[in-house]
Structure 1
Amino acid sequence: MAVANAAKVSPSTVSRAFNHPDLVNPATRKRINRAVEKLGYIRNRAAQAIHGRRNATIGLIVPTINHAIFAEVIQSFSDAIDEAGFTLLIASHGYSLEREYDMIRKLMEHRVDGIALVGLEHSEATFRLLRQQDTPCIAIWNYSGTSDMPCVGADNREAGRLAARHLLQAGHRDIGLIFPSIEGNDRARQRLEGAMEEIRAHGVEVRDGWRQESPYSITLAKQAVRGMMDSDQRPTALVCGNDVIAQGAIFGVQSRGLSVPGDVSVIGIGDFNGSLDMEPGLTTVRIPAEDIGKVAGQRLTGLIVSETRELFRYRCDLKCIVRGTTRPLT
């Protein structure tokens, strides 16, 4: 009724907008959606649940399930909440913060007991909805000492610094960077910022054309590297936004008849499953995904069971794992 009053329509029109939106005038739908967002209204699709009783479900929304990037953290998070008697509902938003908001609403309509999100960058509508519904929530993968949201993760800016520092300490000064779009992706943005800060702190500037953008795709990362390798002046080392991009970068270097690390050193970030088994093994900054998922699952279920709203911030340790894709510049 509150939505109908705010949108100045009948309750039946609101119901129709939810269940059969194609039968409602677009302008009317827009007015109803504005009222829904303003009020933080959530339909109860689990109305059969006993009032006040937990449904023992937790929603996890990740940017993608198309790569191994989040596989390990998802598995350990799922194991941790399972031990506490909760079931996982998972969704992906494809790096769209607007779609993430829609996913959160759908999970809340099913009356999940808690929400886990990746990263600390979300739309204002998302933050407002979480406040309005007073839903226990946690941010996974990112750490910030000033976060207003409970978080369990890594300092991604420091991860970028560690990757660049390894190459700089190995004597490299001609350094290229391959990172995904930073739009709506605070992990990528902070890693890139950290790498650039470390490079500039050593009095080094990245040449024009040596900073390339690639999504989390081996194929597209391979293509992005080829241009750098074809120029008269090419970098002697590459910092990659994560291990998927690093793998593509290695293929791109090799496709031009060059060797890794003989001609070009490559470092990734993440240390995903399989990075050790590459030939040569990938040098990378290890982010302990299993620990992050486990701690996040334990902390979130603890919030739900205790019905508290403790603001905690857990920072995991990072480590540069040196393998076979980097070498000192002689």
Structure 2
Amino acid sequence: MSRYFNQPDQVSPPLRERIEAAVQALGYVPNLVAGGLASARGRIVGMVIPNISGPIFAQTIQAFSDTLSRHGYQLLLASSYFSEAQEESAVRAFLGWSPAALVVTSHFHSPATEKMLADADVPVVEIWDYRPERAPLQVGFLHHQVGVQACRYLLDKGHRRIAFVQNSAAGDLSALERRDGYVEALGEAGLEPWVFVPSADCAPFEAGKQAMEALIRRNPRPEAIIFANDNLAAGALLAGQRAGLRLPEDMAIVGFGDYPFANMLLPSLTTLRPPSREIGEVAALRVLQHLGALACDGEVQRLNLLACELIARESA
């Protein structure tokens, strides 16, 4: 019975089905305290995500959780809401429970969090980012390159007056790396950057609307706009239509995230699709390999660079 709960992959399918039927019939709940707190907590992996409610992280969370659970591990999740202080609090709480491993998002942490991660005696993974020089295992992509990719796409389309709209969440520092990539690509083309910063902590759709209304009043106005995420882009797209703009003829729009609604907008949204599900799957596999729950040929692969895909649709 204990193997069914702790190492389900080592239980044959027929036996697993019989035990599951008995568990369901009896309403059985395993007593983790009786099994030993250290053992129980050692089956938990903590993850800190910037925004649990955001669709951009949903596939990562689901893929990570699904992969862990197939091997008897459970995910414990916390949200930092793009706050280094809240991330620090969550990391401290998780480490106090002696988890099997800890997953954090990006490389932007407070000094106290950096020290806790460095001193942790469990595997630490940084996801949604890629910094080979850092000690934690890396699973993600280069945000700077995403900004370069989006800008070069618009340059290749013939646009020269290209603006960038930052995220209204001030703590989204990864979006600033995408902005820096945009600035670099424009500079290489001999062009000046044009960055719009929405009101602090303005709701994303409203921030996109605010940006569009401000930028179309400029003379000359931008020929194209890159947005820090698809929510901003959608708010701007709707505001542009209300203002009588023809999109993309009068202004091209590019987002980031490929949110579920991106293909449903009219015009459909050109965007950068991050490898959300793959990040979750690869991170979970590396954690399981590190813990010995999955076989690994040699050392666990520490650096895992994935790619974002530009999805060309109607808006640009």
TM-score using structure 1 length: 0.78
Q: Which amino acid aligns with 2:185?
A: E
Per the alignment, do residues 183 and 230 of structure 1 end up closer, same or farther by CA in structure 2, a change over 3 Å counting?
Answer: closer
Q: Which amino acid aligns with 1:86?
A: Y
The answer as to whether partners of 1:181 and 1:188 remain within 8 angstroms in 2 is no
Corresponding residue for 2:36?
50
The answer as to whether partners of 2:247 and 2:315 remain within 8 angstroms in 1 is yes
Q: Which amino acid aligns with 1:61?
A: V
Corresponding residue for 2:302?
312
Per the alignment, do residues 163 and 119 of structure 1 end up closer, same or farther by CA in structure 2, a change over 3 Å counting?
Answer: same
Provide the C-alpha distance between the structure 2 equivalents of 1:67 and 1:277, rounded to a whole number of angstroms.
18
Corresponding residue for 1:321?
311
Aligned length: 279
The answer as to whether partners of 2:125 and 2:137 remain within 8 angstroms in 1 is yes
- The alignment status of 1:153 with 2:140, answered yes or no, reads yes
- The alignment status of 1:102 with 2:89, answered yes or no, reads yes
Corresponding residue for 2:100?
113
Corresponding residue for 1:212?
197
Per the alignment, do residues 93 and 155 of structure 1 end up closer, same or farther by CA in structure 2, a change over 3 Å counting?
Answer: same
- The alignment status of 1:68 with 2:90, answered yes or no, reads no
Provide the C-alpha distance between the structure 2 equivalents of 1:183 and 1:128, rounded to a whole number of angstroms.
24
Corresponding residue for 2:126?
139
Q: Which amino acid aligns with 1:111?
A: S
- SS of 2:238's equivalent in the other structure is helix
- SS of 1:139's equivalent in the other structure is strand
Of 271, 276, 280, the match for 1:293 = 280
- SS of 1:188's equivalent in the other structure is helix
TM-score using structure 2 length: 0.81
Provide the C-alpha distance between the structure 1 equivalents of 2:97 and 2:81, rounded to a whole number of angstroms.
21
Per the alignment, do residues 183 and 104 of structure 1 end up closer, same or farther by CA in structure 2, a change over 3 Å counting?
Answer: same
The answer as to whether partners of 1:180 and 1:213 remain within 8 angstroms in 2 is yes
Provide the C-alpha distance between the structure 2 equivalents of 1:196 and 1:61, rounded to a whole number of angstroms.
30
Corresponding residue for 1:265?
252
Q: Which amino acid aligns with 1:316?
A: L
The answer as to whether partners of 1:138 and 1:149 remain within 8 angstroms in 2 is yes
Distance apart, 1:148 and its partner CA: 1.9
Distance apart, 1:67 and its partner CA: 2.2
Distance apart, 1:176 and its partner CA: 1.1
Corresponding residue for 2:79?
92
Per the alignment, do residues 306 and 71 of structure 1 end up closer, same or farther by CA in structure 2, a change over 3 Å counting?
Answer: closer
Corresponding residue for 1:164?
151
Distance apart, 1:116 and its partner CA: 0.8
The answer as to whether partners of 1:148 and 1:311 remain within 8 angstroms in 2 is no
Provide the C-alpha distance between the structure 2 equivalents of 1:122 and 1:291, rounded to a whole number of angstroms.
23
Provide the C-alpha distance between the structure 2 equivalents of 1:291 and 1:273, rounded to a whole number of angstroms.
17
The answer as to whether partners of 1:178 and 1:238 remain within 8 angstroms in 2 is yes
Per the alignment, do residues 69 and 212 of structure 1 end up closer, same or farther by CA in structure 2, a change over 3 Å counting?
Answer: same
Corresponding residue for 2:271?
284
Per the alignment, do residues 257 and 54 of structure 1 end up closer, same or farther by CA in structure 2, a change over 3 Å counting?
Answer: same
Provide the C-alpha distance between the structure 2 equivalents of 1:97 and 1:48, rounded to a whole number of angstroms.
36
Q: Which amino acid aligns with 1:241?
A: A
Over the matched positions of the two proteins, sequence identity in percent amounts to: 29
Per-residue CA distance 1:43-91 (angstroms, 9 max, x = gap): xxx9876375353111111111232121111111111111221111111
Distance apart, 1:166 and its partner CA: 0.6
Q: How does 1:171-210 map to 2 (within 5 A)?
A: 171-180=158-167, 184-207=171-194, 210=195
Corresponding residue for 2:66?
79
Q: Which amino acid aligns with 2:196?
A: R
Provide the C-alpha distance between the structure 2 equivalents of 1:51 and 1:85, rounded to a whole number of angstroms.
16
Corresponding residue for 1:227?
214
Unaligned stretches of 5+ in structure 2?
1-31
Unaligned stretches of 5+ in structure 1?
1-45
The answer as to whether partners of 2:224 and 2:253 remain within 8 angstroms in 1 is yes
Per-residue CA distance 1:215-242 (angstroms, 9 max, x = gap): 5611222112211112332101001112
The answer as to whether partners of 2:213 and 2:239 remain within 8 angstroms in 1 is yes
- SS of 1:117's equivalent in the other structure is strand
Q: Which amino acid aligns with 2:39?
A: R
Provide the C-alpha distance between the structure 2 equivalents of 1:279 and 1:294, rounded to a whole number of angstroms.
32
Provide the C-alpha distance between the structure 2 equivalents of 1:180 and 1:171, rounded to a whole number of angstroms.
26
Per-residue CA distance 1:10-68 (angstroms, 9 max, x = gap): xxxxxxxxxxxxxxxxxxxxxxxxxxxxxxxxxxxx98763753531111111112321
Provide the C-alpha distance between the structure 2 equivalents of 1:260 and 1:73, rounded to a whole number of angstroms.
32
RMSD of the alignment, in Å? Answer: 2.4
